[in-house]
């Protein structure tokens, strides 16, 4: 059951991903949380997305590792030196992941459950950490540690993302463009693994029209 009507404005809203639990109503900007059979309105998302120069938008499609994906939601995270967007992407094989765009780089990653993660206080930028992931485990370099706040969200998301949701985001890098991220937040610690991607590799379509480009 993915179709609901918005409890605030009555518009038909549709969760495209089964994993989504949160949505911003595209018509009235109410923040909706999916319960078992209905949705609960937890308030209005007051902030609007101050449009930047990104070519990404809800509905943009692309390819990662021969799997097609579409962007279903976005959360903008602010830190002391700016902000970046995390796009919630759902894939045609039923999986879902994230496409992050920051400082002109694109990173695609997927959550990997059940990984023992270090405390954020033990991490130092430039140091290497070994994680028990995959067959032999993997070694990553700590690239940056950022205190984040959710400023605004749109579309659907797999977690509740009201404004002010705080967290710590740690970017990790490895050889061959490997990318990983640890996210420490109020409702737990999560680990994501993936790759840095070139724009051309993502074969994006249904992009936003950028005037003048």
Partner 1 sequence: MDGDPPSPEPQPEPPPVRRGLLREFTCPSCGGTVTIRAAGNSITAVCSSCDAIIDVTDENFRILSKAKMQRRTEPLIPLGSRGILFGKTWEVIGYMERSDGSWEYLWQEYLLFNPYHGFRWLINDHGHWNFTTMIKDDISVVLPVYEGRTYDKYLAGGARVCYVLGEFYWRVKDGDEVSVKDFIHPPYLLSYEKSEDEEIWSHSVYMEPSEILRAFPSVEELPAREGVAPNQMSLLGKAYPGVMRVFLLTLAALVAIEIVIRFTSRNEVAWSGTVHYDSHEPNKTVLTPKFELKRYMADVVIEMSAPVDNSWLESEIALVNADNDNTVHVTSGVEYYHGVDGGESWSEGSNQRKIFLSSVPAGNYYLAVDTAADARIPAADYTVRVIRDVVPLSNFMLAVLAVSAFPLITWWRRRAFEVKRWSNSDFSPYANTSSDHDD
Closest by CA position to 161, among listed 32, 8, 27: 32
For residue 83, the tally of other CB atoms under 10 A from its CB is 16
Binding residues for partner 1 (CB under 8 A): 50-55, 78, 81-83, 103-105, 125-126, 140-141, 143-144, 173-179, 196, 198-199, 210-213
Return the number of the residue (82 or 137) whose C-beta is nearest partner 1: 82
Question: With contact defined as beta carbons under 8 Å apart, do 203 and 62 qualify?
Answer: yes
Nearest distance, CB of residue 101 and partner 1, angstroms: 9
Closest by CA position to 144, among listed 120, 161, 164: 120
Return the number of the residue (26 or 174) whose C-beta is nearest partner 1: 174
Nearest distance, CB of residue 100 and partner 1, angstroms: 12
Place of tokens 């039923």: 94
Read off the tokens for 54. 């990104």
Nearest distance, CB of residue 135 and partner 1, angstroms: 19
Return the number of the residue (11 or 151) whose C-beta is nearest partner 1: 151
Return the number of the residue (8 or 54) whose C-beta is nearest partner 1: 54
Read off the tokens for 85. 């967007």
Nearest distance, CB of residue 182 and partner 1, angstroms: 16
Question: With contact defined as beta carbons under 8 Å apart, do 149 and 166 qualify?
Answer: yes
């Amino acid at each position: 059951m993915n179709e609901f009507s918005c409890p605030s404005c009555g518009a038909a809203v549709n969760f495209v991903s089964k994993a989504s639990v949160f949505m911003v109503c595209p018509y009235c900007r109410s923040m909706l949380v999916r319960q078992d059979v209905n949705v609960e309105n937890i308030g209005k998302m007051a902030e609007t997305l101050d449009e930047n120069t990104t070519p990404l938008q809800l509905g943009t499609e692309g390819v990662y590792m021969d799997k097609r994906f579409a962007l279903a939601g976005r959360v903008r995270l602010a830190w002391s030196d700016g902000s970046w967007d995390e796009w919630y992407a759902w894939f045609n094989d039923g999986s879902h992941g994230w496409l992050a765009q920051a400082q002109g780089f694109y990173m695609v990653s997927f959550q990997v459950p059940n990984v023992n993660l270090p405390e954020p206080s033990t991490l130092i930028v430039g140091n290497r950490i070994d994680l028990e992931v995959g067959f032999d485990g993997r070694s990553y370099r700590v690239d940056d540690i950022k205190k984040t706040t959710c400023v605004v969200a749109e579309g659907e998301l797999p977690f509740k993302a009201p404004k002010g949701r705080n967290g710590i985001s740690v970017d990790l890098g490895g050889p061959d463009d490997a990318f990983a991220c640890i996210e420490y937040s109020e409702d737990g610690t999560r680990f994501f693994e993936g790759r840095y991607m070139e724009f051309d590799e993502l074969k994006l379509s249904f992009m936003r029209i950028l005037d003048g480009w």
